Amino acid sequence: MNRIMMNMKPVAIVCLGILSGGGLVSGTETFRDGDRVCFVGDSITKQGGYHAQILLFYATRLPEVRVQMWNCGIAGDTAAGGVKRYDWDIAPHKPTVVSIMMGMNDVGGGITPARTLTRRY
């Protein structure tokens, strides 16, 4: 599924992002003229590197495709945090496509049992 219906629950959006390998847009499909894209994530997203490359690609190779993009990355954010901020940080942009790249801050934050994080010598 490459398009998100706006009546989907935020939890479903995050789950779809995780299941699809970090993004809802496949590498073979391009954005459509008029798409509104939110890049949701943690500090990796906030730094702007990967979606700046996407914006540059569209500006230089597909200038006829008008796409609006928003950086919705927050340093230190978790998957649960992304769900909590959906209403005030993502939904107001009225996205037609959402790219989700998060999970680094979830590791070791209670999801993985402490005993698996212990190093043995």
pTM greater than the 0.85 cutoff:
no
* 2/106 Cα distance (integer angstroms): 25
- Does 107 fall in a domain? yes
- Does 78 fall in a domain? yes
* 24/97 Cα distance (integer angstroms): 7
Number of domains comprising the chain: 1
- Does 38 fall in a domain? no
- Please check whether residue 100 is in contact with residue 82, taking contact to mean a CB–CB distance below 8 angstroms: yes
* 104/94 Cα distance (integer angstroms): 26
- Does 30 fall in a domain? no
Tokens of 103: 């999970």
* 76/104 Cα distance (integer angstroms): 9
- Please check whether residue 43 is in contact with residue 75, taking contact to mean a CB–CB distance below 8 angstroms: yes
- Does 113 fall in a domain? yes
Give the residues of the chain that fall short of pLDDT 50: 1-25, 115-121
Domain encompassing residue 75: 44-121
* 11/80 Cα distance (integer angstroms): 9
- Does 99 fall in a domain? yes
Q: Give the pLDDT of residue 36.
A: 95
- Does 80 fall in a domain? yes
- Does 20 fall in a domain? no
